[in-house]
Structure 1
């Protein structure tokens, strides 16, 4: 794998936009004839929302989902005027004017959001676009079936709101055998019957790989776009991210020597160690201490001792003495260690690993073999 040296930074996060686009094509083909939307909330899961959204728009994506109003502005210039940007969490009070002015689509999740958007539409004297979310069993966001039935009978609702999507969210899409999936689909089917002419969406990444009954009109691809498997039913996808970290120091320690905070690791023989310039401030979980690893040329290099804020220590005793030196890079994410591997070792999920990757990594967006290094929002 090519290295993109950046002397000012101790780690390099590589984002393969070509792989991202390939994953989008695979998901869109699988879900067809349903449309495939892209979830680019949380700065596109930490990978740079503007660049990710622009790459997906070039691939033909026209439906984008963010979580908050502010995130919609982050992708507005990247996606084009013929795209729709949905705000999954809806609007906080006072956000209605900006949302309407810029043409974003709020997902109305409760009575308060609904009433405020309707009132704003009445004041504007024209219907405003919106999506409605149903709570089909997750008990997180959304209106219940009775509330939706009332809206379906409310003639003024149709005069105030141009309803462009009815949606809900699956609680167990990553567990295809859970009965809850079919129960939620049945609940959502009852809601769809109330609004038969409105496009519908239930499937997130995991739901996209349940039966075609879950595809409805729009699937909302998130973590699968970025290369992680959203459940055992999903095929492998192309990895989008890789992370290399630089060696700060190499040392030898003797038998009985402790390493790191708390001296949790004590060498049982003479060992060679390398200290790496990545820690939990960079999003590398403390739980990987004694569990995780780095890699070099196919050789696993276990993390020994605790992960610190700015560094961690790996055992390189099995490497030839000249294989690794100060300033060289080791692999933390890449061909030998996927997001799913790291999440397993850390006792968490790939979503958390990806979204926690910190701002101190030099970010390298690669497309058509051209590399651009961007770190902390500034060109290097």
Structure 2
């Protein structure tokens, strides 16, 4: 990647065949698959149609507005799970979006929308199993499900689901996985006794789905894994994304030549430098300065000096690179840097790398069928 001998602009290439393989792999592991497409499908762009065509059953996102647009565009069952209780739930309820409810304040806002639209709200009650994020604390659960059950009985709520999130699913032998699943089962039983009988239950995200932790329920919610990222660092998934950019300027320099602001790197020998037109505005982490590598003519070359807003400088040595030649930043060919390596160089996770890729990359899709 890329296959041509020249490249005009920075390119983000999405391998739809790899994406489809990952969707099918997770679908085989689950009874039902929620394809999580938040953050512009983890930076991959418009792949929704392909995800559904390859077997995803639901779509998932955090934004109510995005969920409404996805529901209206595709007709697929769509879940949104991170809204303020002061948000306008009316459009989501009217569109039939499934809405996660983690508190009484959220439930009151959703039921107000149901009354206003004369449409029962499809609700997934969200319980915190020990991750202390957006689910209802266990001490608030009984009051929440009691109110929800009463609303089901008068036709204002449709009991779509109960959901949670496991805190240690990347470590399948951790005892907390068993404890949290027991807590979840108890939470479901409490909901059922109070009249909220869920159509689906779900606790597993990517790491859990890969390790068969919590996959016995009706749905799994997979985001990063669809795009080839295992949060636990495994390599069972197909890499989906590739990044390349052209060398726009090359120059031969002698020993003692300083590069960039404050001469963060100084050449110790005669060498060739290539300027690549991507920087931290394009999602190239500045903290990877001096550590990250790219692939040039089949071999690794180091980024030298500080990553700038729009460019990086690569020490290509004696590779003889010319202006216009492609430089692989992330790829699948032998020796190419991986997203995992970029995460290590940057002291972060691969999710962070892909979701910060900016709009200046030319996004192209290869394999499969183009997304409609």
Q: Calculate the TM-score normalised by the size of structure 1.
A: 0.88
Query: Is the 8 Å Cα contact of residues 94 and 119 (structure 2) preserved in structure 1?
Result: no
The match for 1:149 is 142
Answer 1 or 2: higher relative contact order, Cα 8 Å, separation at least 6. 2
Query: Is the 8 Å Cα contact of residues 127 and 135 (structure 2) preserved in structure 1?
Result: yes
- Partner Cα separation in structure 2 for residue 158 and residue 90 of structure 1: 21
- Partner Cα separation in structure 2 for residue 172 and residue 59 of structure 1: 29
TM alignment of 1:191-270, pairs within 5 A: 191-195=187-191, 197-198=197-198, 199-232=200-233, 234-270=234-270
TM alignment of 1:172-187, pairs within 5 A: 172-187=168-183
The structure-2 alpha-carbon separation of the partners of 1:245 and 1:42, relative to structure 1 and needing over 3 Å to count, comes to same
Query: Is the 8 Å Cα contact of residues 4 and 12 (structure 1) preserved in structure 2?
Result: no
- Partner Cα separation in structure 1 for residue 96 and residue 119 of structure 2: 13
The structure-2 alpha-carbon separation of the partners of 1:371 and 1:195, relative to structure 1 and needing over 3 Å to count, comes to closer
Deviation at 1:272, TM superposition (A): 1.2
The structure-2 alpha-carbon separation of the partners of 1:347 and 1:10, relative to structure 1 and needing over 3 Å to count, comes to same
TM alignment of 1:210-359, pairs within 5 A: 210-232=211-233, 234-319=234-319, 321=320, 324-335=321-332, 336-359=336-359
Query: Is the 8 Å Cα contact of residues 278 and 311 (structure 1) preserved in structure 2?
Result: yes
The match for 2:33 is 36
Query: Is the 8 Å Cα contact of residues 91 and 106 (structure 1) preserved in structure 2?
Result: no
Query: Is the 8 Å Cα contact of residues 89 and 109 (structure 1) preserved in structure 2?
Result: no
The structure-2 alpha-carbon separation of the partners of 1:78 and 1:293, relative to structure 1 and needing over 3 Å to count, comes to farther
The structure-2 alpha-carbon separation of the partners of 1:55 and 1:211, relative to structure 1 and needing over 3 Å to count, comes to closer
The structure-2 alpha-carbon separation of the partners of 1:28 and 1:277, relative to structure 1 and needing over 3 Å to count, comes to same
> Runs of 5+ in structure 2 lacking a partner?
none
The structure-2 alpha-carbon separation of the partners of 1:318 and 1:347, relative to structure 1 and needing over 3 Å to count, comes to farther
Query: Is the 8 Å Cα contact of residues 50 and 371 (structure 2) preserved in structure 1?
Result: no
The match for 2:18 is 19
The structure-2 alpha-carbon separation of the partners of 1:208 and 1:226, relative to structure 1 and needing over 3 Å to count, comes to same
Deviation at 1:69, TM superposition (A): 1.4
Please give the secondary structure, in 2, of the residue aligned with 1:184.
helix
Segment of structure 1 superposing worse, 256-265 or 201-210:
256-265
The structure-2 alpha-carbon separation of the partners of 1:40 and 1:213, relative to structure 1 and needing over 3 Å to count, comes to closer
Q: Given the alignment of the two structures, is residue 135 of structure 1 paired with residue 134 of structure 2, yes or no?
A: no
Deviation at 1:60, TM superposition (A): 2.6
Q: Given the alignment of the two structures, is residue 56 of structure 1 paired with residue 55 of structure 2, yes or no?
A: no
Superposition CA RMSD, Å = 2.3
Q: How many equivalent pairs are there? A: 361
The structure-2 alpha-carbon separation of the partners of 1:356 and 1:96, relative to structure 1 and needing over 3 Å to count, comes to same
Please give the secondary structure, in 1, of the residue aligned with 2:317.
coil
Query: Is the 8 Å Cα contact of residues 247 and 323 (structure 2) preserved in structure 1?
Result: yes
Query: Is the 8 Å Cα contact of residues 302 and 315 (structure 2) preserved in structure 1?
Result: yes
